[in-house]
Structure 1
Amino acid sequence: MRTGDGAPNKARALITFVGVSVLSGALAAGLAIPLAGFAGASSEQIVKTVQDLPRELEVEPVAVRSRMLAADGSVIATLFEQNRVPVRLNQIAPIMKTAIIAIEDSRFYEHGAIDPKGTLRAVIRNHGSGEVQQGGSSITQQYVKLSLIEKARTQAERAKATEVSYERKLTELRYAISLESQLTKNEILERYLNLVNFGDGTYGVQVAAQHYFRTTADKLTLPQAALLAGLVKNPTGYDPTNNLKRAKNRRDVVIRRMLELKVISVHQANLALQTPVIDPAKVNPVANGCASSRYPFFCDYAVAQLLQNPSLGKNPKQREHNLKTGGLTIRTSLDPRTQAAAQASISSHTKPTDTAVAAITIVEPGTGLVKAMVQSKPYGNGRNHTNYNYNVEKSYDGGYGGFQNGSTMKAFTVAAAIQAGLPLDYRINSPEQIDLSDKKFRTCSGVTRDPDYHPRNSTRSGNLTMVEAARYSTNTYFLQLSQRVGLCPIARVASRLGMYNAQTLQPLDQVISMTLGVGYVTPLQMANAYATFAARGKYCRPLIVLSVRDKANRPLRSPKAQCNQALNAGVADGVNKVLGAVMEPGGTGGKLKFGRWDLAGKTGTIQENKAVWFAGYAPNLAAAAVVADANLPYTNLMYGHTLDGRDIRDPTGSGTAGPLWETAMRGAMKGLPLRHFVEPSKKIINGDRKELPDVTGLDRAAATKLLREAGFDTTIANKLVASPVPTGKVAYTDPRTNSGATKGSLITIYLSKGPGQP
């Protein structure tokens, strides 16, 4: 062996190092392998192995659970990979520090990173008792090992951090020596007590104290501290929620060791030994994630929003990890009082066993704050449970993606018509059934037609104003209105108010029947769009997550309120006036009005009754309720479907979804200030009407030319009408001459078939 390079000295140092390694924990754990691992290796190889070992431990921030809060600060959910709340050493009861040192490393403050004397004593004691009662590794070494396991991100890294090998043990020892040169003993003990696993899903002494004893780390008693200290050796085997007898035996070992070291008196020991281990009735359940939340669907949706936030990480995987380990405080928009009102409505009008599903969302106008989100099927995988959130779009795995919304779309047609300058008393002759086959409807990209379309009313027909047609939800009126206004303005209004296909996340289709319902939309979309009317045209994107703060209480960037004036305030006032008539006696929502509130709303029933809606609002809150078949293929609600345990015999927006809306809003509005809609201006009420040229008696060509020169579009009715005017000449127009029309309006020319019954 050469002497010039100091190899013998290094080898001797290594032998000492390895010997200490064995004594410092490997034997106590039954691992008689470090020395064997060196068999056959030359001193040069051994020295090289040691030289290649890392010297400084890079400790990652300890994983800390995150909390999701409601708007009032109450906890919605805890999210964690390890349930941990770090505390400072001065926030831990002295008896806890005494207990953990006594059983794990009684000479902790006397030795360096390694304690050969303590290790030998542990070996002898463990050998004599036939089981591991005392550990051989110092607290510093244990902390190093736990830190390496904590750093592991993959299965391979975890396997390496726990493998049975001399290299791992030497690595831990090297790290331990380095650590003790950087940190004080108290700093190491504080980190250790915050990192260690105390069983039953708890990490760190603070959460363990809360979980097992409903107390805090600074208030732990001797028997409580002894139990926790004993758990460290085998968190699962000594878990008192698994085996009270084993837990007591282990706790008592700790107490007797403390007595042996004379850190407690005989009297204290006897009292502690007689104390019950835990009171099972007082053990706090470990609630992790949205499934354990009081509001699981809202929580899931909030998490989905957070996983899109770049401030939490570069990709969804990093964001999820940070969400569960970063000790974040997430404040949300959910208002427990409003949520309770919505839930009371669901509980009053539905049962989990119903074949139909119901959902309600409540939004605050002018802020976009989502105050409540409830549904009739409970969260979970069991029978009559679901993991789908029926209130939201299909932008994440749990989002259901909405339902067709029926006549709630008429509100956007009203807005487009008022925006175009039509008066609120704009009349259209609206028979029970009309023939719109092959009629042109203007879109943003041209025109569309339906070769065979004969829609009809399910409510009142006649020569109705816009207010009357909204009150009765007259289909033939709104189809003709949408033809005159054009589908493009309606689509643009709807889009500005947050409406899109919740299944595909694409714009709504511009089809002839658009005003009667189109695509798939959600209660969240409907409530928030109608909230825009309540806020006099101020649209705000739905806001779920209000703020995110890290464990140092520093704010992280998160989406803020995004609001804009999507509709002219006067136009919104006009919509409120029209939809307010729906809530008056005789209107489809007349039976849903309550209190002295100004209320407005709209019913919605889709084709073949596959879903029914009621969306409505006061100046303070807006809500949308839906009852639907959520199973593919969708079927008619009146055939074989139940709600509140009874057959649905006549599904309607007012009679089926309406009561859900009314009960939720009645409860949510309690205690809120009485506010009123702004009365629309005379210009909005009367519209921006131009005088129509009188073309009665002219031929079609002359009438068309005159009307178009005046700035109107024209179409010829497909049937002749009885009139004293000569056959083939213009009998009248719709709208009539004395009604006037807005510039660019579609004027229908009716030609005469000669005298007869008008």
Structure 2
Amino acid sequence: MIMFIVVSVLSGALAAGLAVPFAGFAGRGTASVADTVQSLPKEFQSNPLAVRSRILAADSSLIATLYEQNRLPVKLTQVAPIMRKAMVAIEDSRFYEHGALDLKGTLRAMLRNQSGGSVQQGGSSITQQYVKMSLVEKARTAEQRAKATEVSYERKLAELRYAIAVERELSKNEILERYLNLANFGAGTYGVQAAAQHYFRTSAAELTLPQAALLAGIVKNPTGYNPVNNLSRGTARRNVVIKRMLELGVITVAQANQALRTPIDLAKVEPVPNGCANSRYPFFCEYAVSKLLANPALGATVKERDHYLKTGGLLIRTSLDPKMQAAAQASIAKHTKPRDTAVAAITVVEPGTGLVKAMVQSKPYGNGRYHTNYNYNVEKSYAGGYGGFQNGSTMKAFTIAAALSKGIPMDYRINSPEQIDLRNQRFRTCSGWTRDPTYQPKNSTHSGDLTMVEAARYSTNTYFLQLSQRTGLCSIARIASHLGMYDAQSIKPLDQVVSMTLGVGYVTPLMLSNAYATFAARGKYCKPLVVTSVRDKAGRPVPGPGFDCKQVLPRQVADGVNRVLSAVMMPGGTGGKLRFGTRDMGGKTGTIQQNLAVWFAGYTPNLAAAAVVADASLPYTNLMYGHTLNGRDIADPTGSGTAGPLWETAMQGAVRGLPNARFVAPPRKMIGDPNPKPPASDKPGTKPNR
């Protein structure tokens, strides 16, 4: 019996304090055991720790935490000495005295377990436990996890061989540091720092004796000894640790008694929300994550990128401005209610950078009634993206840019009757010509002999249809494309149809606000940017899309568009009632045929925003019939009266504190004659005298 015990202890087979009959091991072939030991590598390679990643707003406030294991590694010097002592006392009191295997501890545990007929005491050293946890951490499949946790002599021998390698490579303090950072402390927390934050809202460095004893006790059974799951059992386990520390002389009787009397305060338990669904800004957060998952620098596949995002300890900074986000959210709160049948959405973008500053919508995030998982601000190619709405007369801005680019001045007059017959009228496209055999559009606002500025102010359909015929649809389409406009449902270019200038395809608030931001930036287009930087856990930058800007319109053309759209914000213009303060502003309304959606897009020189109110159900229905906004029936949906107030309230708060910048005046030639003569003919397609 003595010889058997000596051989078994030296081989490490009883290192866990086995509770099986002695014959269980005696029956194993010595050759099999030897082969297992000899086949093991002499060095132990552990995987990098899975560390939680954080997504931050532009002001460094936390947006969301992403993790598979909630862990925040710390150095041993950042762990309170009492925590280190508590862990060693309960798990391996002779840790600093023995090697990879504690012969005395293992023999004592084996004899106690054998005499009791069950596992009452463990014999694994902290080093062996660290190896086991590391092997489980490395497992990626169910088969690998089963292999890492199976009850077998081969596994225990493997762990011992690895433990010996670890003890040769690392100091005791290095092993303890890794152990404390790797251990499971229950409730989804891994590592002593995350556990200290979760259970006590403190750091590992500030842990007290009763706190340290509780955490040290949890590791043996992270579910069973978690005080949130079972307070009495968690308290009893904590007290076992305290008594063990007293038994070892680590603490005094007075310290022990005081710690034993200290109640566990569950009110301090602070779960760390995981993922965007638990974020203050879930829709923006999910869009940022979608952009990260498209970055090949984070992994070869989406699955690898997702894993790295949740385990790489990344520090992700975004463009979101909490002040502007709050202003946009306040607008939603003021003008909408979650129970409305219509939906509203607003995106705010910074001209000249493409930084997405705010993204809000009227339906809260979630699966419940009156909630949604759709993001109404972004394109359908993103997994949660709704894919936009028809944009109506906001397209006229691109027709204005096309006309000014072709040398047509702002005083260009076209007779624009209430209704115009465009049946079979030819419109040039990039590939030829198009026509509509039945098209006879009407105005919903001002008609008459109008200049470009007047037509923009009143949003006169028949003027812009004739103007688009003269510029050609191809030039409008190209400018819109250069400004980031495409169909948000199909992700294809906008259709070049006769009615293009009155709205075409499906666009998003993000897309439209960023396109209008290009006018504000004097023709410099920047791709929308939500993730501004990513750093790994070592602080090294991770490559990714950054600022991507280029001049897509001549500055003077953009200046001209700004002048024309400024007229919209003047008294008598469709956006005149939305103007506030003394800032320069440009804007444009958009109302979809049959009132399926209404828009207002507008900007100052340093901020742009687009707001939409729409029916997001299928099939789409007229907003005038059976739809509510802010708890009231929508009697007369318009871009200025329905979507406009959302834009106004959001922008008023968002621009507060920004410089009062001014638009640059366009060339005199582009403005034209302040007192132009009326055109010689009002027939579509003819050139009036100027």
TM-score, scaled to structure 2 = 0.96
- 1:126 deviation in Å? 6.4
Question: Is 1:601 matched up with 2:598?
Answer: no
The answer for the alignment partner of 1:734 in structure 2 is 686
Alignment of 1:560-571 (within 5 A): 560-571=546-557
- Structure 1 stretch displaced more, 105-114 or 283-292: 283-292
- 1:640 deviation in Å? 0.9
Aligned partner of 2:57 among 65, 70, 80: 70
- 1:18 deviation in Å? 6.4
Q: 1:33 to 1:189 in 2, by over 3 A?
A: farther
Question: Is 1:55 matched up with 2:22?
Answer: no
- 1:692 deviation in Å? 14
Aligned partner of 2:423 among 433, 437, 454: 437
Cα separation, 1, equivalents of 2:172 and 2:679: 97
- 1:380 deviation in Å? 1.1
Alignment of 1:226-237 (within 5 A): 226-237=213-224
Cα separation, 1, equivalents of 2:505 and 2:435: 18
The answer for the alignment partner of 1:24 in structure 2 is 15
The answer for the alignment partner of 1:8 in structure 2 is none
Cα separation, 2, equivalents of 1:478 and 1:33: 92
Cα separation, 2, equivalents of 1:44 and 1:162: 23
Q: What is the CA deviation profile of residues 43-92 of structure 1, one whole-angstrom value per residue up to 9, with x for unaligned ones? A: 33332232223332211110111111111111111111100000000110
Unpaired stretches in structure 2, ≥5 consecutive residues: none
Question: Is 1:450 matched up with 2:436?
Answer: yes
Question: Is 1:542 matched up with 2:528?
Answer: yes
The answer for the alignment partner of 2:27 in structure 1 is 39
The answer for the alignment partner of 2:515 in structure 1 is 529
RMSD value over aligned CA atoms? 2.2
Number of residue pairs the alignment of both structures matches: 685
Counterpart contact for 1:34–1:166, Cα < 8 Å: no
- Structure 1 stretch displaced more, 282-291 or 485-494: 282-291
The answer for the alignment partner of 1:9 in structure 2 is none
Cα separation, 1, equivalents of 2:174 and 2:261: 34
Q: 1:459 to 1:20 in 2, by over 3 A?
A: same
Alignment of 1:258-297 (within 5 A): 258-277=245-264, 279-297=265-283
Question: Is 1:103 matched up with 2:90?
Answer: yes
Cα separation, 2, equivalents of 1:124 and 1:40: 20
Question: Is 1:156 matched up with 2:104?
Answer: no
Q: 1:33 to 1:556 in 2, by over 3 A?
A: farther
Cα separation, 2, equivalents of 1:668 and 1:615: 15
Cα separation, 2, equivalents of 1:215 and 1:154: 35
Q: Secondary structure at the match of 2:260?
A: helix
Alignment of 1:32-431 (within 5 A): 32=20, 36=24, 39=27, 41=29, 43-123=30-110, 134-277=121-264, 279-431=265-417
Counterpart contact for 1:133–1:253, Cα < 8 Å: no
Q: 1:519 to 1:348 in 2, by over 3 A?
A: same
Q: What is the CA deviation profile of residues 374-429 of structure 1, one whole-angstrom value per residue up to 9, with x for unaligned ones? A: 01111111111111111111122111111110100000000000001001011111
Counterpart contact for 2:350–2:608, Cα < 8 Å: yes
Q: Secondary structure at the match of 1:372?
A: strand
Cα separation, 2, equivalents of 1:330 and 1:36: 53
Q: Secondary structure at the match of 2:449?
A: strand
Counterpart contact for 1:14–1:47, Cα < 8 Å: no
| 1:462 partner letter | G
Cα separation, 2, equivalents of 1:437 and 1:297: 44
Q: Secondary structure at the match of 1:258?
A: helix
Counterpart contact for 1:37–1:165, Cα < 8 Å: no
TM-score, scaled to structure 1 = 0.88
| 1:397 partner letter | A
Cα separation, 2, equivalents of 1:231 and 1:508: 60
Question: Is 1:511 matched up with 2:502?
Answer: no
Counterpart contact for 1:34–1:165, Cα < 8 Å: no
- Structure 1 stretch displaced more, 125-134 or 630-639: 125-134
Cα separation, 2, equivalents of 1:21 and 1:628: 70
Q: 1:663 to 1:132 in 2, by over 3 A?
A: farther
Q: What is the CA deviation profile of residues 636-690 of structure 1, one whole-angstrom value per residue up to 9, with x for unaligned ones? A: 1111111111111111100000000000000001111111111111122129xxx
- 1:213 deviation in Å? 0.6
Counterpart contact for 2:15–2:156, Cα < 8 Å: no
| 1:67 partner letter | R
Cα separation, 2, equivalents of 1:610 and 1:55: 70
Cα separation, 1, equivalents of 2:119 and 2:351: 65
Counterpart contact for 2:449–2:678, Cα < 8 Å: no
Cα separation, 2, equivalents of 1:195 and 1:648: 58
Q: What is the CA deviation profile of residues 116-147 of structure 1, one whole-angstrom value per residue up to 9, with x for unaligned ones? A: 21123345666889986643211001000110
- Structure 1 stretch displaced more, 158-167 or 308-317: 158-167
Aligned partner of 1:558 among 532, 544, 557: 544
Q: Secondary structure at the match of 2:612?
A: strand
Counterpart contact for 2:9–2:103, Cα < 8 Å: no
Q: What is the CA deviation profile of residues 698-731 of structure 1, one whole-angstrom value per residue up to 9, with x for unaligned ones? A: xxxxxxxxxxxxxxxxxx969xxxxxxxxxxxxx
Q: Secondary structure at the match of 1:453?
A: coil
The answer for the alignment partner of 1:646 in structure 2 is 632
Counterpart contact for 2:590–2:598, Cα < 8 Å: yes
The answer for the alignment partner of 2:670 in structure 1 is 684
Cα separation, 2, equivalents of 1:544 and 1:34: 63
- 1:620 deviation in Å? 1.2
